[in-house]
Amino acid sequence: MAHSKLTQSNAAGWGFAAPAVGLVAVFIILPFFFAFAFSLTNQRLISPNPTEYVGFENYRNLLGLGVLRIEPERDDAGEIVRDAQGDPKYPRVRKWTRNNPDFPQYAGMREWFSWRSGDDKVAVLAKDVIFMKALVNTVIFVLVVAPGQGGLALILALLINQRLRGINVFRTIYFMPVVVSIVVVSLLWRFIYDGNDGLLNTIIGALTFGLFEPRDWLGNPSTALGAIIAMSIWQAVGFHMVIWLSGLQTIPPTLYEVARIEGASAWQTFRYVTWPGLRNTAILVLIVITMQAFAIFAQIDVMTNGGPLDSTQTLVFQAVERGYGKQDISGGSVISVILFLIVLAISLLQRWLTRERG
């Protein structure tokens, strides 16, 4: 057959598909090409100035990195100046990155992180530290949420996949957060995480008989991202629970009967009957959670605005903040394009890892 099935005379099929294809094209595919085009210009949200083509400058400004080895300060005798703890003192990075014509490669960069190597300090500089932090936070978020949420959802699905009286009550409770808007959930969890008299502090305080010092969960850079991860998993786990549940119910009961007759333990039944039967569901759940996790935005916007100290910056939040808040469409577009490439690469990798072998 020389023609593919797509081009054969199936007008009715195309007719049915047309509304969806049209909407996807107008609202998803076309904007993506716009984003890619804008990322190569200096497009503003509103401006009387004409848009100019700037090539890959936006990408360089976002992704530029540099490494700087800094020697400690020495006094007149050549001795290393040390502080009270005996740590060497280093000159500030701004000595190289600001108004220093001898080091044009570091101009406009900021210190991202650093470590000590002997007496020297090695600083990794980035053109756009906030983007780098957003990238790292987003990756951490995905790495925790994808297995955590998927696994928890599976456990919940196994728990409610039983014929017990009143099991529908549990199904409803677990599923309830999914139908509540994420904005409302985020607002409620702001109260739960409140530093003074929040619900979480009160509960932990009561459980530990007052030994626990109340914590400002969202106001502390070391707990803010974790708090948002926990709340995000809680909110979305019910949805994936239902998908797992549908997968569980496609496994023929006869297989379980056989396993029981063969004398398989509960773990063996799960390992050799349930899990293989959930294979396609697992792929779906993993890919969907990964994609959703990369798009994390609403929780950040409502709960922390990326703070404190950029500990909850994420890629989509930064794209919106730059594109709309700071009226820099090109800056937001660059982040969107990079996010697209990352998600595309990971999806392809997941497809490859979970392919049918044989």
Partner 1 sequence: MKTKALIVGLAATLWTGTALAQTELTMWYHGAGNEVESAIINQIVDDFNGSQSEWSVVLQSFPQASYNDSVVAAALAGDLPDIIDVDGPVMPNWAWSGYMQPLKIDEGRIESFLPGPRGYWDGQLYSIGLWDAAVALYARQSTIDMLGLRTPTLEEPWSGDEFMDALAAAQASGEFEYALDLGMAWTGEWYPYAFSPFLQSFGGDIVDRSGYKTAEGALNGDAALAFGEWWQSLFMNGYVPGTSQDPADRDRGFIEGKYAFGWNGNWAAVAHMAEVDDMLFLPAPDFGNGPKIGAASWQFGISASSKNPEGAAAFIEFAIQDQYLAAFSDGIGLIPSTPSAAEMTENYQAGGALEVFFGLSEAQAVLRPVTPGYVVAAKVFEKALADIANGADVADTLDAATDEINADIERNGGYGH
Q: Which residues bind partner 1 (CB under 8 A)?
A: 42, 44-49, 92-94, 98, 108, 110-111, 129, 194-196, 216, 218-219, 221, 305, 307-310, 321, 324-328
d(CA 348, CA 327): 33
Nearest approach, Cβ of 212 to partner 1 (angstroms)?
A: 18
Q: Which is nearer to partner 1, 59 or 175 (CB)?
A: 59
Nearest Cα neighbor of 266 from 168, 170, 162, 354 is: 162
Q: Which is nearer to partner 1, 50 or 86 (CB)?
A: 50
d(CA 294, CA 284): 16
d(CA 318, CA 335): 8
CA 99 to centroid of chain Cα atoms: 36
Q: Which is nearer to partner 1, 205 or 219 (CB)?
A: 219
Cβ(336)–Cβ(43) below 8 Å: no
Nearest approach, Cβ of 46 to partner 1 (angstroms)?
A: 5
Q: Which is nearer to partner 1, 328 or 337 (CB)?
A: 328
Nearest approach, Cβ of 167 to partner 1 (angstroms)?
A: 39
Q: Give the chain's end-to-end CA distance (angstroms, integer).
A: 27
Q: Which is nearer to partner 1, 149 or 313 (CB)?
A: 313
Cα-based distances in Å from 45 to 34, 41, 55, 277, 316: 13, 12, 19, 50, 17
Burial profile 210-228: b = 16 or more Cβ within 10 angstroms, e = fewer: eeeeebbbbeeeebbbebb
Nearest approach, Cβ of 328 to partner 1 (angstroms)?
A: 7
Q: Which is nearer to partner 1, 41 or 281 (CB)?
A: 41
Nearest approach, Cβ of 208 to partner 1 (angstroms)?
A: 22
Q: Which is nearer to partner 1, 151 or 195 (CB)?
A: 195
The letter for the amino acid at 280 is N
Nearest approach, Cβ of 194 to partner 1 (angstroms)?
A: 6
Nearest approach, Cβ of 232 to partner 1 (angstroms)?
A: 19
On the 0-12 / 13-18 / 19+ scale of CB atoms within 10 A, 118 is: exposed
d(CA 71, CA 93): 11
Q: Which is nearer to partner 1, 129 or 273 (CB)?
A: 129
d(CA 41, CA 235): 38
Cβ(300)–Cβ(317) below 8 Å: yes
Q: Which is nearer to partner 1, 46 or 77 (CB)?
A: 46
Nearest approach, Cβ of 308 to partner 1 (angstroms)?
A: 4
CA 8 to centroid of chain Cα atoms: 42
Cβ(329)–Cβ(155) below 8 Å: no
Cβ(227)–Cβ(304) below 8 Å: no
Q: Which is nearer to partner 1, 287 or 298 (CB)?
A: 298
Those residues with Cβ within 8 angstroms of residue 286's Cβ, 6 or more apart along the chain or in another chain: 146, 150, 350, 354
Nearest approach, Cβ of 138 to partner 1 (angstroms)?
A: 19
Nearest approach, Cβ of 227 to partner 1 (angstroms)?
A: 11
